[in-house]
């Protein structure tokens, strides 16, 4: 963190990294069953469920000794909960956040965060189906805050993410697909896609059409041939009981048993949130170090090119000064008139001064070039030439996340004013990635094995 501060790096403040408890984040279409699933997992009727949109808030449900409700300012203002950074999204978001503390729930080791149901998006279908990233949507205008940014904030810190779809809108809601691209990208390791309410289908043909529609729409935005697994399930309609479909009402026949098994599997993954907090923390650490190392190495290359131009100009001016001194000394030793020495000195001063001005402009032009998208891209390719030539996708993804902030910081501070990047600091980051992160993985794996085996 001190290195990140001195280099004006891409990492967030330490206090904004994690929340007080692990949490599961639910996002998806309205009426897709998010609230019902929360009630099912916690064993209490906490969230209001319904066909129409029932909630326009981000609701944090956390275990406690007694039932307490708090509004957004109280939640975000609590220094111990870890949601203070949400202030940056503005007062509208603050007032659309709330906390529900509930006792007597089935779980006590993690929170669940419900999000407003998504209805539609101003993003045009053409922009969603293109291979390039969709343009910034106007969700900030629709909701009064940057909805995509808030979802990404929660998703980055969540330990499990559930993305819900329902039979009526199987991947056709534009805002949901936009969120998948812009807010949940790069989080496949903790993202579960759920097609809920599968017990509502009356015919297997209807199920096949909805499932195929969801796969088709996901394939358009995911941008790869292999689709992630889709958890097809249903949730009991009564707490502690069974749903209409689960008593064998004939909608999907014996397939209802598969839906129940899938739900049990998904709930099991949700219950692992506390253990996954460790894995996610290590993943986040490795990710942050990769970002900071790239930020530092590209900055160091930009500083090297900038200093090269500046040093060349200084050497040229110093050469003129040396020639001037040598010329004056020669006139003195050979007995030439003082006017000749004065003329040589004057010419040297004018030449050196003019050269200094010209080189100063060259240095300014070089700095302006280096802090552009193209200039930094050149520095990036020089620094990682071998991996770029190999088509390293992870490297390209990391650069995509670094370059915008790096460009803005260099423009604001200037290459000359930025702290010099030391190779030793970058090597320390490399050592953490290659030695410490794998060791932490081994320690976490051993600890998880002990817990599953009944150890401490």
The answer to which of 180-189, 375-384, 423-432 has the lowest mean pLDDT is 180-189
Q: Which of 64-73, 228-237, 442-451 has the lowest mean pLDDT?
A: 442-451
Q: Are 73 and 67 in contact (CB under 8 A)?
A: no
* DSSP sequence for 305-336: HHHHHHHHHHHHHHHHHHHHHHHHHHHHHTT-
β-bridge mates for residue 232, sequence order:
195
Tokens representing 116?
Answer: 């407003």
Residue 247 pLDDT exceeds 60: no
Over residues 3-30, the pLDDT tens digits come to 898 888 888 765 556 788 899 999 988 8
pLDDT band at 129 (very low <50, low <70, confident <90, very high): very low
Q: How far apart are CA 316 and CA 352, in angstroms?
A: 8
Q: Which pLDDT score, from 0 to 100, does residue 450 have?
A: 61
What's residue 20's pLDDT?
A: 81
Q: Say which residue, 328 or 30, is predicted with more confidence.
A: 30
CA proximity to 76, closest of 47, 99, 102: 99
The pLDDT value given to residue 301: 92
Domains in the chain: boundaries:
2-271, 288-449
237: pLDDT confidence band, cut at 50, 70 and 90?
Answer: low
Number of CB atoms found within 10 A of residue 446's CB: 11
Q: pLDDT value at position 378? A: 92
Residue 50 has pLDDT above 70, yes or no: no
pLDDT of residue 41: 92
The pLDDT, as a whole number, for residue 357 is 72
Mean pLDDT for all residues in the chain: 81
Alpha helices per DSSP H over 102-224:
125-129, 139-143, 147-157, 174-182, 204-222
Q: What local confidence, expressed as pLDDT, does residue 242 receive?
A: 44
Give the CATH number of domain 2-271. Answer: 3.40.50.300
Per-residue model confidence (pLDDT) at position 132: 45
How confident is the model over 381-435, as pLDDT tens digits?
999 999 988 888 889 889 988 989 999 988 888 888 888 888 999 999 999 999 9
**What pLDDT is attached to residue 137?**
43
Residue 284 has pLDDT above 70, yes or no: yes
Q: Is the pLDDT of residue 48 over 70?
A: yes
Q: Bigger pLDDT: 119 or 455?
A: 119
* Alpha-carbon dihedral 337, 341, 344, 349, rounded to 10 degrees: -150
How far apart are alpha carbons 407 and 138 in whole angstroms?
Answer: 25
Q: According to the model, what pLDDT value does residue 210 have? A: 84
Of 379, 418, 375, 372, the C-alpha closest to 3 is 418
pLDDT value at 352 more than 90: no
pLDDT at residue 331 tops 80:
no
Residues paired with residue 61 on neighbouring β-strands, in sequence order: 100, 112
406, 376 contact by CB (below 8 A): yes
The first and second tokens of residue 421, run together, are 């990047």
- pLDDT value at 372 more than 70: yes
pLDDT above 90 covers what percent of the chain?
A: 30
Q: What is the pLDDT of residue 312?
A: 79
**pLDDT value of residue 449:** 62
Residues 318 and 310: beta-carbon distance below 8 Å:
no
Does position 350 have pLDDT exceeding 80, yes or no?
A: no
Residue 225 has pLDDT above 90, yes or no: no
Q: What average pLDDT score do residues 174-192 get?
A: 84
């Amino acid at each position: 963190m001190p290195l990140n501060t001195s280099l004006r790096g891409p990492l967030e403040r330490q206090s904004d990294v994690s929340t007080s408890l692990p949490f599961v984040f639910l996002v998806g279409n309205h009426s897709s069953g998010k609230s019902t699933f929360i009630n099912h997992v916690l064993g209490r009727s906490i969230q209001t469920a319904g066909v129409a949109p029932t909630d326009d808030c981000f609701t944090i449900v956390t275990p406690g000794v007694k039932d307490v409700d708090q509004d957004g300012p109280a939640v975000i203002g609590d220094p111990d909960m870890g949601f203070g950074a949400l202030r940056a999204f503005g007062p509208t978001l603050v007032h659309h956040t709330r906390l529900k503390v509930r006792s007597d729930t089935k779980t006590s080791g993690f929170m669940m965060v419900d999000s407003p149901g998504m209805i539609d998006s101003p993003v045009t279908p053409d922009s969603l189906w293109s291979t390039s990233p969709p343009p910034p949507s106007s969700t900030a205008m629709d909701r009064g805050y940057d909805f995509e940014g808030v979802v990404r904030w929660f998703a980055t810190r969540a330990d499990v993410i559930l993305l819900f779809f329902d039979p009526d809108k199987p991947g056709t809601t534009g805002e949901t697909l936009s969120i998948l691209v812009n807010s949940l990208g790069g989080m496949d390791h903790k993202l579960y896609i759920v097609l809920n309410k599968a017990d509502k289908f009356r015919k297997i043909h209807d199920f096949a059409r909805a499932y195929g529609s969801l796969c088709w729409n996901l394939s358009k935005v995911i941008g790869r041939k292999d689709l992630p697994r889709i958890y097809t399930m249903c949730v009991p309609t009564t707490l502690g009981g069974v749903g209409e479909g689960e008593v064998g009402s004939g909608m999907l026949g014996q397939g209802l048993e598969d839906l129940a098994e899938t739900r049990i599997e998904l709930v099991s993954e949700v219950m692992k949130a506390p253990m996954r907090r460790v894995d996610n923390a290590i993943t986040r650490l490795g990710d942050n170090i990769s970002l900071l190392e790239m930020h530092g190495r590209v900055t160091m290359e930009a500083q090297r090119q900038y200093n090269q131009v500046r040093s060349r100009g200084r050497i040229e001016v110093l050469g003129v000064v040396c020639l001037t001194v040598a010329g004056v000394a020669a006139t003195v030793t050979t007995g030439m008139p003082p006017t000749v020495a004065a003329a040589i000195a004057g010419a040297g001063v004018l030449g050196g001064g003019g050269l200094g001005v010209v080189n100063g402009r060259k240095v300014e032009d070089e700095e302006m070039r280096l802090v552009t998208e193209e200039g930094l891209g050149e520095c990036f390719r020089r620094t990682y030439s071998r991996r770029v030539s190999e088509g390293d996708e992870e490297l390209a993804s990391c650069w995509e996340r670094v370059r915008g902030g790096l460009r803005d910081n260099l423009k604001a501070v200037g290459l000359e004013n930025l702290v010099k990047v030391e190779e030793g600091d970058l090597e320390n980051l490399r050592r953490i990635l290659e030695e410490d992160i794998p060791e932490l993985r081994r320690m976490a794996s051993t600890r998880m094995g002990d817990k599953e085996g009944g150890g401490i």
